[in-house]
Every structure is written in structure tokens, then in C-alpha cells.
A and B are shown apart, each in its own frame.
Chain A
Amino acid sequence: MARLSGLQREVLSLYRQCLRHIRQKPEESRGNFKRFARAEFQKNLSVSKKDFSTIEYLLRRGRRQLETYASPGIRSIH
């Protein structure tokens, strides 16, 4: 794989964080969370890797979203 830019690594790091948080969720809903996280990333697959401001915005939004969904009160997602 080509060397990743800093921003690309940040995106992957966010995805990794998502997966780590999913491990805290109840076992039966982990699949749903995983699919959801994956879909959220895939929605913006078309964003050019040079479109820094958009990616930065999406990263910020993703982090906030992760914070929300990471709360232990949320046990499943559909």
C-alpha cells in the first residue's frame, strides 16, 4: 500500500477507535454497530483525498458521533 498521508492515518485511527469502542458494547449488538460504523465511513468514500477541509470536517463530525454512540446508555443500533 502506498504511504498514507497524515490525514488518511487520522481517518484510519478514528475507525480503529470506533472498533475499540464497539468491543465495550453488548455482544449481540456489536455486528450492528460495526455495520453502522463501516457504512458511515463508506458514505464519504468519494471525497477526494486532496479535499482537506471536507475531510477535516468529516473527521470532527465523526469524532463527535463516536462520543455520542460510545455512551454506555446506547446498547444497540438499527
Chain B
Amino acid sequence: MFRSAIVRSLRASAPRVIKTPAPFQIRSSPVAVRKQFAPCFAAQGVRFYSAPAGLNKTEVEGRIINLLKNFDKVSDASKLNGTSHFANDLGLDSLDTVEVVMAIEEEFSIEIPDKEADQIHSVEKAVEYILAQPDAH
């Protein structure tokens, strides 16, 4: 009970502390100068950050398919779609798969750890993985 009373009194006093004038306030500067700088301060005070731009599925898929189109070892480009399997549909061997995964890394500027990279065998899996990464872009 005693403690809660102390907390309450602290909370009540907190806003008063904040309201005290800032120590760096300019007091003696001439009015003209202050007017000149005022807009500048206002502009610095507010910063606008864009909302985190999420990737949508079609975009990720499109970028991965584009990347595979430029990959010269893809044997049958007509089989290239959102669900194609690297080895079964596109005729890539395991080393090619590693290369593709590395290219995907570069495309989305992320680093895929070995363990996860070993699991990516199809366009579908890759898209799934990229969408699960918050810092992919």
C-alpha cells in the first residue's frame, strides 16, 4: 500500500518535471534572427519515415522467375513458373541450386544460413522463405 502511494505521487509529479523550460532555450537572440531560423527548426523537428514496405507474393515470385530466366543453365524455360522445382523441372543440379539460392540472396540483399538454404529446392519454397524474412527487400 505504501509503495503504491509512492508510485502514484511520482506519477503525479512526473509531468511537472517535463514541463520545466528547456535549458537550451534561446533567450537573448534578437527577434529577426529567431524568425529566420524558426522554419529550419520546425523542419528538423519532424522526420517522416516511410512505412516498412512489405513484399507481396507476386512481386517476389516475379523477381525470382526473372532471375532464373537469366540463369543460363535452366534447360527448359517453358517449365518456369511459380511452382517449378529446381532439379525436377528446370534440370539444375545441386551446385546450380546453390548458385540460384546465392543469386536470390543477392537479389533480396539478405543472407540465408546454410541450414535454410539446403531446404530451398523450388521456386515456391524460395518465395515462402523470402516472404518470411522481415528484412528482405
Chain A: residues with CB nearer than 8 A to chain B?
1, 4, 8-9, 12-13, 15-16, 19-20, 23, 38, 41-42
Contact = CB atoms under 8 A, between A and B. Distances in A.
Contacts of B117: 16
Contacts, number: 30
B66 interface: no
Given A12-B118, A16-B114, A1 B87 contact: yes
A23 B114 CA distance: 17
Interface residues of B, number: 14
B104 to A, nearest CB: 12
Instruction: Sort A-B residue pairs by CB-CB distance and give the 10 closest, nearest first.
Output: A19-B102, A1-B87, A15-B98, A1-B121, A13-B114, A16-B98, A12-B98, A15-B95, A41-B95, A12-B94
Contact of A4 (B99, B101, B102, B118): B118
B95 A38 contact: yes
Contacts of A8: 94
Nearest to A17: B114
Interface of B: 86-87, 94-95, 97-99, 101-102, 106, 114, 117-118, 121
Contacts of B94: 1, 4, 8, 12
B121 A12 contact: no
Nearest to B122: A1
Contacts of A15: 95, 98
A56 B117 CA distance: 22
Contacts of B118: 4, 9, 12
Contacts of B114: 9, 13, 16
B52 to A, nearest CB: 26
Contacts of A16: 98, 101-102, 114, 117
A36 to B, nearest CB: 13
Given A12-B95, A16-B102, A19-B99, 10 more contacts: A1-B86, A1-B87, A1-B94, A1-B97, A4-B94, A8-B94, A9-B114, A15-B98, A16-B98, A42-B95
